[in-house]
Amino acid sequence: MERILIKDCLILPMTSEPSGGEEAQEELVISGDVAIEGDTILQVGDQGELPPNWKPTKVIDGKDHLCLPGLVNCHTHAAMTLFRSYADDLPLMYWLEKKIWPVEARLSGEDVYWGTALALIEMIRSGTTTFNDMYFFMDEVAQAVEKIGMRACLARGLIGIGVQGEVALDESKQLIAKWHKQAEGRINIWLGPHAPYTCPPTYLEKVLAVAEEYQVGIHIHLSETEGEIRQIQKQYGKTPVALLRELGAFRYPVVAAHCVHLTDEDIRCLAENGVGVAHNPESNMKLASGIAPVTKLRAAGVAVGIGTDGAASNNNLDMLEETRTAALLQKVATGDPQALPAATALFMATREGARVLGLGDEIGMLKPGYKADLILIDLKQSHWYPKHNLVSQLVYAAQAHDVDTVIINGKVVMENRKITTIDEELVWAQVEERAKRLVEPG
């Protein structure tokens, strides 16, 4: 069994909840070693005990590095890297109908495998160790996750209009049978009803019956645009949140992506039912959907994680950037520079994100007994000087490239910026060729 010792680093274990005050941020950082055995953290700084005569099989020099839990990307469509920057600055429906849907209709399982592989590399390179995905050809997505070594929650996207809805629900069951808790436990399968406006109540009831049967959670787009609110209100006389509650969806773990347009009653309902929210600030800005009421949600007790959404609407999968944008956007939206301080934003990107995905007892903190999902940030760079407050620097000044080493489930998947589990240039070549064919089929 591999035993890794990361020596002499600064450590941000994320074990204490941020108070929001400025002093609290400095108290979050300790220094020392991190010891890993197999897939599990044994010791962090001076917490946890090493067995007598414990000897590492691998030592990583942590000098001039900051070690913290891997970031948790709570909502994405990984394979959409294939369409990165293919169609930007367009009205939503034109973008979907004229651009995205036609190219998605041409996707093969292999395309999705390679597009997902590119996404996983990009996520690892920017410090993400767990992601929550909704797409199709999910067997191929799971294969990419297994090979490259990430932790993932995967959901086959379900559209409940037409015959495809039943087929996709069957695929979801097969996906659960084949992949739930597989890949050394790194994969969890969820159900992915796309949204209330694409899944009518009769279909959602079928989805919930499957959730009940297999005891899995629901990943859904919810209250993303004003258009959705108007449509659901008109069809059912209630908000999308109220509609889901009445259908009984909140009896299961739910990750609700976006939640941009909520009433106070919606917020209370999400809090009372323990629904987790995935906040996607850059996608919401780029598509002009609006600004989610993150400060209100958190004040009401709702767990809010952060997500990048797909690369077609972002256009990268950089959780450090997304976390910064989340913090900046809440300040300007609320008119309060104290809203969503750095430590809270980082808490959302790690521990609260883990909780949103139902993984709060396994990941999101560096703590003995937790899974060894962690990242090392290279501090020897101009934008990291001087070092008044490492948490602030990480949230407000860092860039993806600062991440130089990533460990997931105790395995080194990137070391000194080299991906260890797949040939990165092969992925580039595959994606380049496939993307070209998808957008220019003739």
- Stretch 318-337 residues interacting with a copy of itself (CB under 8 A): 318, 321, 325, 327-329, 331-332, 334-337
291 binds a copy of itself (CB under 8 A): yes
Residue with tokens 């009518």, as numbered in its chain: 200
| Residue 5 parent element (H or E) | strand 3-11
Map residue 195 onto helix, strand or coil.
coil
Judged by CB under 8 A, the residue of 63, 178, 230, 383 near a copy of itself is 383
Interatomic CA distance for residues 175 and 420, integer angstroms: 27
Where are any strands of DSSP class E within 56-200? 58-61, 65-69, 71-76, 128-135, 151-158, 187-193
Q: Enumerate residues 4-23 that contact a copy of itself by CB under 8 A.
A: 20, 22
Judged by CB under 8 A, the residue of 51, 382, 441, 442 near a copy of itself is 382
* First and final C-alpha spacing in the chain: 52
84 binds a copy of itself (CB under 8 A): yes
259 binds a copy of itself (CB under 8 A): no
Interatomic CA distance for residues 75 and 296, integer angstroms: 20
Judged by CB under 8 A, the residue of 3, 125, 219, 261 near a copy of itself is 125
SS3 labels along 127-142 = CEEEEEEEECCHHHHH
| CB closer to a copy of itself, 82 vs 243 | 82
Residue 91 C-beta: closest distance to a copy of itself, Å? 6
81 binds a copy of itself (CB under 8 A): yes
Which of 310, 356, 305 has the alpha carbon at shortest distance from 326? 305
272 binds a copy of itself (CB under 8 A): no
Where are any strands of DSSP class E within 161-265? 187-193, 218-222, 254-258
95 binds a copy of itself (CB under 8 A): yes
| CB closer to a copy of itself, 65 vs 371 | 65
Tokens at 82, concatenated: 């294939």
Interatomic CA distance for residues 353 and 71, integer angstroms: 8
User: Could you give the count of Cα atoms lying within 13 Å of 29 in the half-sphere of its Cβ?
Assistant: 18
Judged by CB under 8 A, the residue of 67, 83, 228, 239 near a copy of itself is 83
Specify the stretch interacting with a copy of itself by CB under 8 A; choose among 37-45, 205-213, 268-276, 339-347: 339-347
Specify the stretch interacting with a copy of itself by CB under 8 A; choose among 129-137, 230-238, 312-320, 361-369: 312-320
Residue 287 C-beta: closest distance to a copy of itself, Å? 5
88 binds a copy of itself (CB under 8 A): yes
CB of 135 closer than 8 Å to CB of 78 = yes
Interatomic CA distance for residues 26 and 207, integer angstroms: 46
CB of 32 closer than 8 Å to CB of 45 = yes
142 binds a copy of itself (CB under 8 A): no
The vertex-248 CA angle with 242 and 253, nearest 5°, equals: 100
Which of 188, 189, 222 has the alpha carbon at shortest distance from 204? 222
| CB closer to a copy of itself, 127 vs 410 | 127
| CB closer to a copy of itself, 143 vs 389 | 389
Residue 397 C-beta: closest distance to a copy of itself, Å? 4
Judged by CB under 8 A, the residue of 106, 178, 387, 418 near a copy of itself is 387
Residue 15 C-beta: closest distance to a copy of itself, Å? 21
* Phi and psi torsions of 180, nearest 5°: -60, 125
| CB closer to a copy of itself, 184 vs 378 | 378
Specify the stretch interacting with a copy of itself by CB under 8 A; choose among 65-73, 105-113, 354-362, 379-387: 379-387
Specify the stretch interacting with a copy of itself by CB under 8 A; choose among 54-62, 89-97, 139-147, 364-372: 89-97
Residue with tokens 């099989």, as numbered in its chain: 57
CB of 413 closer than 8 Å to CB of 420 = yes
54 binds a copy of itself (CB under 8 A): no
Q: Enumerate residues 185-244 that contact a copy of itself by CB under 8 A.
A: none
Specify the stretch interacting with a copy of itself by CB under 8 A; choose among 207-215, 233-241, 349-357, 378-386: 378-386
Map residue 329 onto helix, strand or coil.
helix
